[in-house]
Structures are given as structure tokens and as C-alpha cells.
């Protein structure tokens, strides 16, 4: 039985109390207020639930992460990144990116990104915590991702692509820029093959929590605008 969060407290149970099955389920209830969400992320916890369900809070073990210096780009992906038919921006269309991430995927009937989730992360964006990366072709939004920047950690939430490789383009540019800014960790939450193909790996939750405690209070005062080039992303090779 998992604990129900108190309305008058932002505290979460210790991570080691999370269930093994389903992996990482830690608590239920509470709300999606700015204060509670920031408390959750700072402690290695994130919300994930279906519309109509109580809010569920998770901290899986192991944790899927990417160390920015370990970004892997195949030769074909580097060639794609060097093309000049696309543009990449930060925070120019946050709401559109979240809406695109929320759209049902092939073979899926719905999405976990509910209206409440949408409003909560839009508020975090307005408050300077949540950020989006957009990929444009012919001035049309064709790919992107969003997440939170806290300290020197970026917490990835979701990504989308309406044209081939455009979510990878967004991720490659983001990761390269974060490395330039001194970020040491990207939280990918749960393993999948798409992220693994880019260099993501799994680490024990206890190590993730230790790294998070070290990095979450470091300064991250940036303009959230790209200061890198295609050569920076690709390493200057074809």
C-alpha cells in the first residue's frame, strides 16, 4: 500500500519506500502546484498517471539517465544534423511542443499528458523552470521536447517528431548546449530504445539520488537561447 500525500505538506516518502512492482511507484495524491512539483523533481520524483486517476508519483530503480558527454550520434545522424534545412530554437513554442507531445501516438488510444499536466507545466515554463526545444522546417514545427532545468540537471519529460529524426535533432542540440553550460546529468526517467540509441543508460536509484543532491542547487542562470553551431553538435565531421 502506497502512502497518500497530505494536502498541507510538500514532503514525500523516502525513495527506498517505492514499490518494486510497479517499479518506482512511491505515493499518490497531492496536487500539481509549482511548489510540489519542484519538491518532487529536486528529490528524484515525477508525476505520471492517466487522466481520471489520482496523481501518482514515481522514482524508478534503476533510473535512465544520459551524461551529456556520452551523447552518441551515428554517422548518418551527424550527416542529418549538418544539413541546413532546419532551425532549432529554445522556448519559442512551449505550449505547442507540449500539445504535440500529448497527441496520441500510433497504436495508442490516449495520452498521459492531461489538461491538468499541460497547465501545470505551462505555469512552470512561465516561472522559468520548464523549457522546450523546437525544430522547424519551412517555418513548421516538426519536432521537439520539453523538460525542467534545475541546478545542473535537466529533467526530460517528453518529445515528439512529425518528420524523421526531428526529435533526435532536438535532443542532440539540447544535450550539446547543456554540456556547454556545465550540466552534468539529463534525467530520462525510464529506459527506452530511442533514448538508448542516443547514449542513455541506467544507473541505480541511490546513485541518481546522490548525483541529484550534488547538482540540484548549482546555479543555472542562462538565457535559454542556443549559443552553439551545427559544428559544435556534430563535432565538425560528416
Domain with residue 22: its CATH number is 3.30.70.3550
- The per-residue pLDDT for 108 is 53
Q: What confidence tens digit (pLDDT) does each residue in 196-237 have? A: 999 999 999 999 999 999 999 999 888 999 999 999 999 864
Calpha distance 153→171 (Å, rounded): 15
**Tens of pLDDT, residues 137-186:** 999 999 999 999 999 999 999 999 999 999 999 999 999 999 999 999 99
Let me know whether 153 and 224 are in one domain.
Answer: yes
d(CA 2, CA 151): 29
Are residues 184 and 142 located together in one domain of the fold? yes
Do 85 and 55 belong together in one domain? no
- CA-to-CA distance for 56 and 8, rounded, in angstroms? 17
State the pLDDT confidence band at 107, using cuts at 50, 70 and 90: low
Residue 106's pLDDT is what?
62
Per-residue pLDDT tens digits for 21-60: 999 999 999 999 999 999 999 999 999 999 889 999 999 9
- pLDDT for the residue 46: 98
For the segment 60-84, the average pLDDT, to the nearest whole number, is 97
Q: How many domains does the chain have?
A: 2
Domain containing residue 54: 4-60
Amino acid at each position: 500500500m502506497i502512502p497518500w500525500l497530505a494536502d498541507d505538506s510538500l514532503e514525500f516518502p523516502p525513495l527506498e519506500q517505492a514499490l518494486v512492482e510497479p517499479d518506482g511507484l512511491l505515493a499518490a495524491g497531492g496536487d500539481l502546484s509549482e511548489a510540489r512539483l519542484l519538491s518532487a523533481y529536486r528529490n528524484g520524483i515525477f508525476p505520471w498517471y492517466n487522466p481520471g486517476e489520482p496523481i501518482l508519483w514515481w522514482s524508478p530503480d534503476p533510473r535512465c539517465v544520459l551524461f551529456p558527454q556520452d551523447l552518441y550520434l551515428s554517422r548518418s545522424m551527424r550527416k542529418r544534423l549538418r544539413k541546413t534545412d532546419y532551425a532549432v530554437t529554445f522556448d519559442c513554442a512551449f505550449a505547442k511542443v507540449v500539445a504535440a507531445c500529448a497527441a496520441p501516438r500510433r497504436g495508442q488510444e490516449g495520452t498521459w499528458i492531461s489538461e491538468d499536466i499541460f497547465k501545470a507545466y505551462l505555469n512552470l515554463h512561465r516561472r522559468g523552470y520548464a523549457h522546450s526545444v523546437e525544430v522547424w522546417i519551412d517555418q513548421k514545427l516538426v519536432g521537439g521536447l520539453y523538460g525542467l532545468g534545475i541546478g545542473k540537471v535537466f529533467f526530460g519529460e517528453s518529445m515528439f517528431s512529425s518528420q524523421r529524426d526531428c526529435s533526435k535533432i532536438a535532443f542532440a542540440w539540447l544535450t550539446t548546449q547543456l554540456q556547454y553550460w556545465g550540466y552534468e546529468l539529463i534525467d530520462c526517467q525510464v529506459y527506452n530504445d530511442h533514448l538508448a540509441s542516443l547514449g542513455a543508460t541506467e544507473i541505480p536509484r541511490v546513485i541518481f539520488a546522490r548525483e541529484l543532491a550534488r547538482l540540484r542547487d548549482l546555479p543555472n542562470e542562462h538565457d535559454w537561447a542556443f549559443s552553439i553551431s551545427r559544428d559544435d553538435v556534430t563535432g565538425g565531421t560528416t
